[in-house]
Amino acid sequence: MQDLSNYRKSYEKSELLETNIPEDPINLFNRWFHEVEDFGGNEEVNAMTVATIGLDGFPKSRVVLLKKFTEEGFIFYTNYNSEKGKAIANNPNVCLSFFWHNMERQVIIKGIAQKTTEIISDNYFDSRPEGSKLGAIVSNQSEVVPSRSFLEENLKKLENEFESMVIPRPEHWGGYLVVPFEVEFWQGRANRLHDRIRYTSQENYAWKIERLSP
């Protein structure tokens, strides 16, 4: 047993004030993303946690990589037959979260996940290294397998099968666009009086901006 009650850190690297934020959360996300990237210290700035409600009724979170963000929302790719894919098919309400420790920042995004177009999925799949393409085909993601060697042997078979050939995107693999309706930005501050700004989508497509108590 280890008591962590004495773990302490004072957050003092930045601030988040209503006087210096845009009306649109995507613009603020873009600013923060590049500030974190420029500051350094995060190997994968685009690593995010995706939380879904599973078919068993339990929430489940896992880290995936954000591959694109636009005014529409946030895009990541996965196997549609995976546990997360089945969860999204059953309940498209998801939560994305980023924790950028080097800048003492978090972003929490509630949104609705929907499949991207086949063209978007095809274009991204075509940009991947061949090994990653074959991995997407060989892996029945989230399914039980007998051993590591089982996967490696199947991968070797596919390497031989597709040698000098174009590797097609499997129908069960593609992108999700998460369209946000609530985005919260959290900036660590001294004395645990953290800055929390929440954007909530309105019916007129504007965003309501509110400060939350830490």
169, 192, 196, 211: the active-site residue: 192
Contact 67, 175 (CB under 8 A): yes
Concatenated DSSP letters for the chain? ----TT------S----GGG--SSHHHHHHHHHHHHHHH---S-TTEEEEEEE-TTS-EEEEEEE--EE-SS-EEEEEETTSHHHHHHHH--EEEEEEEEGGGTEEEEEEEEEEEPPHHHHHHHHHHS-HHHHHHHHH--TTS--S-HHHHHHHHHHHHHHTTTS--PPPTTEEEEEEEEEEEEEEE--GGG--EEEEEEE-TTS-EEEEEE--
Compute and round to an integer the Cα radius of gyration of the chain.
Answer: 20
Question: What is the Cα–Cα distance from 83 to 54, expressed in whole angstroms?
Answer: 7
**CA pair distance 22, 179, nearest whole angstrom:** 19
Whether residue 192 lies in the annotated active site:
yes
> Which residues are catalytic, by number?
192
